Structure 1
Amino acid sequence: MRMRPFIPVFLLAAGGAAVQPVFLGDGIALAVPLSDTLVLCTDTHGGFFTVSIPTGVRTRWTPSWRPEEAGWEIREGFSYDGFVFALDVSPNLRHVVFAQGVRLPERYEVPEDLEGMRGCFVVVVCGADGGDAVPVAIGVEVGGGPEYCFTSDSRRLVGQPFYPCRPAPDGYAEFLAGGWDAPPPVPPFDWYDIETGERGTIPGLSVGDGFWKCPYSDFFRIENNWYMEHEFSSFATGGVTGRYSVPDGVDGGYIRGWVLPDAVLMEGEECWKVLYVDGTVTDGPSIYDWDLYCWLPDGTYLFTTDGGATVLHGNVDWTTGEASDVTICPGLEAFIEESFVPLPGSQGVLILTPAMWGDGRLSYYPLP
């Protein structure tokens, strides 16, 4: 049995008082940080706004592309009108991608069996201020999607689905009119180049039912809705970089999150496992005491060593269970079931309650 290492910890405090989460506002559907002091948010009806940290002041954020002006109708019938299905920001913080729900107007004829696909979304890339917005693709909700993000060099937009058609009402109508067996109106593509507008494919790329990309590299897990089989790939190279199958009769396999540019933390029977994208695996700390909550850009983590009673911030070697430069984060233990979103400078985290895809509350927690 592995002995539990001694971890010296210090109380995270500011001005002599313990830090506590700062409430920024409610009515939040999706949220991504544009900087350490500004968060881009959506509401449940397709609206965008920024929230300042730590004041919570809201300012309307309007992209230069709007669906009504492009000839679309606002989509109704999926939870909320005009819902934004996906939202992300590039690693260099210069571009934003969003997928907004729209509907193909009745003036466009489509095959009767595809009437249900009038409701779709348009994938749009724009500057962080909403300017220079460009419609990139069209898609509908399938598998684990929609999901869109940027490559680690901030150069390309990747994700799924990307329908092979022009991202305009007449282009989508043309695509539907041809049916699934007709040649696509435009060549299929897997990526969009932010600088040139070029589209292309990645040889051997497969995202399965979706993908779970590492936030700090181009590796991703190919989603398959099954915790016992894992495959990994890369948006830089395509193909499968590695596979791992949980042995028969062994419990575990649930992925907790990325902990290295090339490894995830996976549930085992007695301990966490560090599973690398090449399919190799090593033992980690106790699954009963340890847990991961967030991995920050500077390489530190929010984690626990006592089953969630205390949230810690510091450096962790997940293969040994050794931690250093650890501080206690009082108050965060009340939010361990929610979504933690790290700020770009690692000076704090956002807390979205409930987790993404709801009408939630946004809070901020500063870190040293």
Structure 2
Amino acid sequence: MQQVKAVVAKAKGAPVEVVTINVPDPGPGEAVVKVQACGVCHTDLHYREGGINDDFPFLLGHEAAGVVEAVGPDVTAVAPGDFVILNWRAVCGECRACKRGQLQYCFNTHNATQKMTLEDGTELSPALGIGAFAEKTLVAAGQCTKVDPSARPAAVGLLGCGVMAGIGAAINTGAVARGKSVAVIGCGGVGVAAIAGSALVGASPIIAVDIDAKKLETAKAMGATHTVDSSQGDPVEEIKRICAEYYDGADGADVVVEAVGRPETWKQAFYARDLAGTVVLVGVPTPDMKIPDLPLIDVFGRGGSLKSSWYGDCLPTRDFPMLVDLYQQGRLDLDAFVSEEIGIDDIEAAFEKMHDGSVLRSVVIVDR
């Protein structure tokens, strides 16, 4: 066991604290990773606010990259010294989804068996099974995906959650491709990643929808062909108008990605899609939210698909190395998602910046 500094949320709504925690030596199927960089994701704020569950204290942080320090006795996929991106879907290989070759839908993803603790022995709940606002963290070895060690940790670590969720929602879940129109409602980090992914595969038009002018500017820089300020009018009608200009007879977008996670924006996404179009929900709702009232005939009459996207339906071992390669080739600008680099003591300030639209991601550089 070793002791390291880490960021912990001890109570609902209380400011996070930098404390000393205990990290066990890795057991079977486990690895200890020296964290280099970790993005500040809105999910971490959800944990602090009790929006996920009430299993306090939480060890926050999950969008991370680092170097494997030690592995358990039976671990062969990664070794000490490997540069890895951490993921929260270590697949089991044994469930029905895995056995039918759909590992990205694994029903039994898992985390480390042992628990990290506070100095007094209180067990910590690591965010998404990772807990990477820490100098070192203990994870299941399957949560470590080996990638090109020359890549910038602050940029590629964001594939561990938000960027992968957005790119995957568009490409994997929504099947966005050349010749398809896309609208993305909500242009935070995940929404902008969906726009970047849509641009990567040649979709057009790509319509960004938000109420924040700064976010719309960022969306355009990342590949949106059109922007819609939904505070100034009906975004559904504007999406339909734009798509009709591109494709004769279109009555909406082929794919609408909802990256907010609210009933009213989901309803906009539902009506903004074309006949036989697809709605992808990737924004994270709170437990109390309900799907808005919709006439069942509208659900039937429009056809198509209503999907939710969990982690962009990604398979980390397949998708992370590919996206890092595209980043290294200059075809996917992951650096653009890094708005600022901060220290481990600056996370409360980063939470505040989420609300004013001034950052896509604050990234904690752990070893600075």
TM-score range, shorter chain: under 0.3
TM-score normalised according to structure 1 size: 0.27
TM-score normalised according to structure 2 size: 0.27
Looking at secondary structure, tell me which structure has more strand per residue: 1
Looking at secondary structure, tell me which structure has more helix per residue: 2
More relative contact order in 1 or in 2 (CA 8 Å, sep 6+)?
Answer: 2
Rg (Cα) greater in structure: 1
